[in-house]
Chains A and B, each alone.
Chain A
Amino acid sequence: MRIVEEVLAGSRLALSRAITAVENEYDEAVEIMQKLYPHTGRAHVIGITGPPGAGKSTLTDKLAKEYRRRGKTVGIVAVDPTSPFTGGAILGDRIRMNELTLDEGVFIRSMGTRGSLGGLSRKTMEVVKILDASGKDVIFIETVGVGQSEVDIVKAADTTLVVLVPGLGDDIQAIKAGILEIGDIFDINKADREGVERLNIELEMMLDLNPDKDKMDWRPPIKRTVAHLNEGVTELVEALEEHIAYLTTSGMLERRRLERTRNELLTMLDEQIGRYVLKKITESGDFDALVNSVQQRERDPYDVVNGILRRFLS
C-alpha cells in the first residue's frame, strides 16, 4: 500500500494523510492501520495532563527540544476539546511550539476530542500508533485534565506526567484524586510562583497516603520547572528516562502494554458490536415503536434491550 510504504520511508506528507484517513475513518483507514501495526511498539509514549493553564504545551515544547538535543525524534499529539454544541474546536497548542515546526525530527498533530466522552478517543491512540510506526522515538500525548481524560491517558501512555501549578487556591482539594493515582511523575510548573513548597508537601503527603505505595518500586518523583524559562527541563527529562528504564527492567512495561492491548481489543469489540446492533435495529424500523412502548410503561427497557440482543446477536 503506497501510503504505508511512504510513511515507513519517512514522508511527512504521507504521515499526515494517513493520520487524516484514520481520523476521518476513510475506507482505507483499517488497511492502513493493519499494515502499520507490525511496525508499532517501539516508541516511548508519554502522556502529559494537568489543569488548563498549567503550561503543558510550553513544557512539551521544551521537553521535545531537549529530546532532540539527545538525538531522539519526537511526535506530539495535542488534544483540545471539541465543542459539543458546534462540533468545532480551537486547536491552540501548536502556538506554543512554533520553533519546532521546521525541525524535521518533530511532527506535531493537533486533534479535537470530537465527542469522545473520555477526552482521549481511540483515534488518538491510533494516531499515536501511526507516529510510532513512522519511527518516532518519543511520542507526547498532550491533553487537558478535565473530565475523564486524565484516566484515559494512563491507558494510552507508558509514562504519565501530571503537570500542576502552585497557587490554584486550595491546591490538593482542587485536584481530583484520579490525577494523583495515575501520575508516574509530577511536575510543578511555574515554580517561580508562590505556593510551591506547600504544593510539594501536600503532594508528598497524598503519595504517602497511597495504600499501594509499598507494593511499587517506583515512588513518583515531584519535579519543578519554569517551562517558559527552560528551567528544570533537563532534570525532568532525566526523570522520564529513569521511568522508562525502570519499566523496562522491572517488566512493568510489558505488563502495562499487554493491559493496553487488552483494553484496546475490548474497546474495539464494544464499538463494532454497538455499531452492528445499532445498524440492525435502525434497519428493522421498529426502534421508535420500542422506545414508545418503554415510555408508556408497556415494556421495561431491560426487556427491550434483551430482546434486541437476542434478535441480532444469537
Chain B
Amino acid sequence: MEKRIRVLVAKPGLDGHDRGAKVVARALRDAGFEVIYTGLRQTPEQIAEAALQEDVNVVAMSLLSGAHNTLFPRVIELLKEKGLNDVLVIGGGVIPDDDIPGLKEAGCAEIFTPGTPTSKIIDFIKANVK
C-alpha cells in the first residue's frame, strides 16, 4: 500500500518568519511524509481550502506574531465546515504556555514550542494521525 502521510505546513497571518516552518517541513520529508508547504501570509480560508484539495492528514501551523489565539481556532472551525473531520491540527512558534490549554480546547491536538526536537513532532504525528 502506497499511503503516505500528507502534511500541510502553513503560516497563517502576517508573519514573515518562516525558518522554523521550513526546518519542520524538511524534517517531515526526511521522515517519509509528503509535505505541502503553502508559504507565507495565508488566510484561514486559504489554509482550510488547501487542506481540502490536498486531502491532508495533518495541518501544521507556524505562528510567531502572536495571533494564534484567533487564527488557529478559525482554521479548525473552517476545516470542520468543509467536512474535514479527521485532520490532525498541530501548531508551533511563539506561543505562551498559558495559551496552550485554550488552543487544545479549540481543537489543536498539540503545540510544539521552540526547542522541541523535530523527532517529537514526527512521533506525535505517527501516533495520532487517523
Q: Is the interface of A mostly helix, strand, loop or mixed?
A: mixed
Q: Which residues of B contact A88 (CB under 8 A)?
A: 4, 28-35
User: Max chain A CB contacts within 10 Å: which of B1, B37, B42, B45?
Assistant: B37
Complex: how many Å from CA A86 to CA B53?
Answer: 24
Interface: A110 (CB within 8 A): yes
Cβ contact within 8 Å between A95 and B1: no
The interface on chain B, measured as residues whose beta carbon lies within 8 A of the other chain's beta carbons, has a size of: 30
Cβ contact within 8 Å between B37 and A92: yes
User: Max chain A CB contacts within 10 Å: which of B35, B36, B39?
Assistant: B36
Cβ contact within 8 Å between B35 and A91: yes
Q: A91-B35, A94-B36, A102-B46 are in contact. Are A110 and B54 (CB under 8 A)?
A: yes
Interface 9-residue window, one of A17-25, A31-39, A149-157: A17-25
Closest to A20 in B: B55
Q: How many A-B contacts are there with CB distance less than 8 Å? A: 82
Q: Which residues of B contact A102 (CB under 8 A)?
A: 45-46, 49
Q: Is the interface of B mostly helix, strand, loop or mixed?
A: mixed
Q: Which of A87-123 contact B (CB under 8 A)?
A: 87-92, 94-95, 98, 101-102, 107-110, 112, 114
Interface: A293 (CB within 8 A): no
When the two chains form the complex, which single residue of B30, B35, B54, B84 contacts A109, counting CB atoms closer than 8 Å? B54
When the two chains form the complex, which single residue of A17, A89, A95 contacts B34, counting CB atoms closer than 8 Å? A89
Pairs A–B under 8 Å by Cβ, sample size 11: A16-B53, A16-B55, A19-B55, A88-B28, A88-B32, A89-B35, A90-B35, A91-B54, A102-B49, A108-B53, A110-B36
